Amino acid sequence: MSFLSEEEKGFLSINRMIFHVVGNKLEEPILLEEISPPQHADFFLERVKSALRGNLFEFRQRSDVEKMIRSIVNDGQGFSEKTKELAVEFQKQHSSTTSMGVFFVFELSVGGDLPIYALIKYDNEDVVRYILQGGDLPQVPTLERFQETFVRKPEALQKIALVRLADAGGGRIMVRDRSNTAHISDYFERFLQARRINSPDEMSGKLVEAFKDTFKQHRSSLPNDVQRNGVNRIYEVMRQGGHRFDPDNFEPLLTAIFGQVSEDAPLRRTLSRNLRNHGVSEETFDINPDRIQKPRRRRMDTEEGTQIFYDEGNRPTIRDLSDGRQEVLITTARVTSDDVDIQKRPRSG
């Protein structure tokens, strides 16, 4: 299930905004007042949307962050003061290597009764701007240096948590942490007092199913070598270890399994739909090969319609004949049955 529905994404807008200065050079954060009405909402809304492909967490019981945000919901007049408390708590969790920046809090509308909240650590950028006077005469540009700036590049937005409170207590959090994209950094986890909802082990299994469903639907459009053993390729690639699923860049995984797939191939749309249906379309995680158990039972199909079932360790020998045909040799202790097959088996796809 997505953190926001497509309809809610269409309604997403900024109601309120504030930021406070934080970082390793400060003993205490520099606390500021609310920016009202919000400024440059379109710029910041795009930064907020980048967290919609993050990792799903939930608050632990008695989370201070949950209490503070819930008090903002219950008392709209306390927005500035409660965000200051959040900034102080965030500053406490900073490590000595954490860079200077600001801690944003946005109250967002998604078209429903309850707002959601975005908590963002935005790093300062050291920028030199040039200014031209215009006109036809030769110009010497004027240079100005800024250290307190907000830029578009993704690396500047270090941490973002979208918070959606539940009516009965607790709530879901969509987290995107650039220092640990497959999970969350220790200090940010301590600050939120949250735990991950979907384990990487569970999602590894769901990822396999999404790729298998896609293979079954597009088998005939794939290269011959992939058609012959596509499911086995899925298991073999994901059991290699060292693979990470990133919804923004799963091209290496796609290519390793299916080969080169054109940008406009229907398979891509099917895979995106299957990833969404299996609940792994938004989260980043390291694939655990130990949790991907390849079935031992194998099936071989011939062009004449013969099916050969065998276990992983007892694969028949295949020999190429001079006329282009192939010979399948089965070595056995003895034949136990040679009769009409009365068992109903699934048709080959």
For residues 97 and 99, give the distance between their C-alpha atoms in angstroms, rounded to a whole number: 6
Cβ pair 182, 244 in contact under 8 A = yes
Q: Residue 206: exposed, middle, or buried by beta-carbon count in 10 A (0-12, 13-18, 19+)?
A: middle
For residues 349 and 347, give the distance between their C-alpha atoms in angstroms, rounded to a whole number: 6
Cβ pair 135, 102 in contact under 8 A = no
Residue 193: which of 50, 104, 83, 86 has the closest Cα?
86
For residues 261 and 246, give the distance between their C-alpha atoms in angstroms, rounded to a whole number: 18
Angle between helices 224-238 and 251-258 (to 10 degrees): 130
Highest mean pLDDT of the ranges 38-47, 263-272, 302-311: 263-272
- Please report the DSSP string for 111-173 in residue order: SSSS-EEEEEEEE---EEEEE---SSS----EEEEESS---SSGGGEEEEEEEEE-TTS-EEE
pTM comes to 0.75
Cis amide leading into 37 (omega within 30):
yes
* Coil, helix or strand at residue 85: helix
Cβ pair 246, 181 in contact under 8 A = yes
The pair of structure tokens assigned to 103 is 């801690």
Q: What are the tens digits of pLDDT across the range 130-186?
A: 666 766 666 555 555 555 566 666 566 788 999 999 887 889 999 998 888 888 888
**Between these two residues, 116 and 315, which has the higher pLDDT value?**
116
- Mean pLDDT (the chain) is 84
For residues 49 and 30, give the distance between their C-alpha atoms in angstroms, rounded to a whole number: 26
Could you identify the residue written with the tokens 């008392």? 75
Residue 178 Cα to chain centre, angstroms: 12
Beta bridge partners of 162: 118, 174
Q: How many CB atoms lie within 10 A of CB 73?
A: 15
For residues 54 and 160, give the distance between their C-alpha atoms in angstroms, rounded to a whole number: 9
Please report the pLDDT score of residue 349 as a whole number: 46
The pair of structure tokens assigned to 161 is 């948590």
The pair of structure tokens assigned to 320 is 């190429």
For residues 148 and 123, give the distance between their C-alpha atoms in angstroms, rounded to a whole number: 9
Q: What are the tens digits of pLDDT across the range 207-263?
A: 999 999 999 999 999 998 899 888 889 988 998 888 899 988 889 999 999 999 999
Instruction: Work out the average pLDDT over 313-330.
Output: 83
**Between these two residues, 151 and 7, which has the higher pLDDT value?**
7
Please report the pLDDT score of residue 194 as a whole number: 94
Please report the pLDDT score of residue 286 as a whole number: 92
Q: What are the tens digits of pLDDT across the range 99-122?
A: 788 899 999 999 877 899 999 998
Amino acid at 229: N
